Amino acid sequence: MKLMIVGVLALVCADLSAREPLRVPAGGELALAAEPTLLLPVAEEQGTLVPYAEYVVEQPVHVIQLYQNVRVRDPKNVHPSAVSKIVSVPDPRDKCCRVNIEICVPPCTNETVRCYRNGDRLRFCYGKYSVDVISRRRDVVVNYND
């Protein structure tokens, strides 16, 4: 306990803006401070150098809501090594809004997107394979073609 207090006092007295490494015993233990990014030495002795940790800023995680009323036609025509892709299509209930759905597409990069019927029908072309996405009534229909 006394060693931890000595370590806290050493950190309080140290100039944090200098970012000089701390010296801790070679086999010594480290205790975490109230802030998880700073390391406190247990004892102030000659030994291994421990640099101060930089502050880590976590990026906010954005959750994408997927539309639930999706029907799939011809799932046997999906590319064998398909990857999932989230696309935004017109909402079948309200044409002014858009909804997100997940489709399976080939892993290639040459994609052609065509829009039919005022945006109600989308075709994602990948050479031999294509995916049709149709918004109608309350459902979104995903049709896989090969």
Number of domains in the chain: 2
Please report whether residue 130 resides in a domain. Answer: yes
Do residue 85 and residue 34 come from a single domain? no
Do residue 31 and residue 84 come from a single domain? no
Tokens standing for residue 122: 């989308």
Across the chain, mean pLDDT equals 75
The whole domain housing 131 covers: 70-145
For 9-28, write each residue's pLDDT tens digit.
455 555 444 455 555 555 54
Do residue 132 and residue 77 come from a single domain? yes
Please report whether residue 65 resides in a domain. Answer: no
Give the length of the chain. Answer: 146
| Secondary structure element (H or E) that encloses residue 11, with its range | helix 2-13
Q: Record the pTM.
A: 0.57
Do residue 22 and residue 76 come from a single domain? no
For 25-47, write each residue's pLDDT tens digit.
555 454 544 444 444 555 455 56
For 82-110, write each residue's pLDDT tens digit.
999 999 999 999 888 999 999 999 998 78
Do residue 35 and residue 89 come from a single domain? no
**Is the per-residue pLDDT at 126 higher than 50?**
yes
Do residue 91 and residue 31 come from a single domain? no
**Is the per-residue pLDDT at 3 higher than 70?**
no
Strand duo 70-73 + 139-145: pairing: parallel
pLDDT at position 11 is: 52
Do residue 86 and residue 126 come from a single domain? yes
Please report whether residue 41 resides in a domain. Answer: yes
Do residue 79 and residue 131 come from a single domain? yes
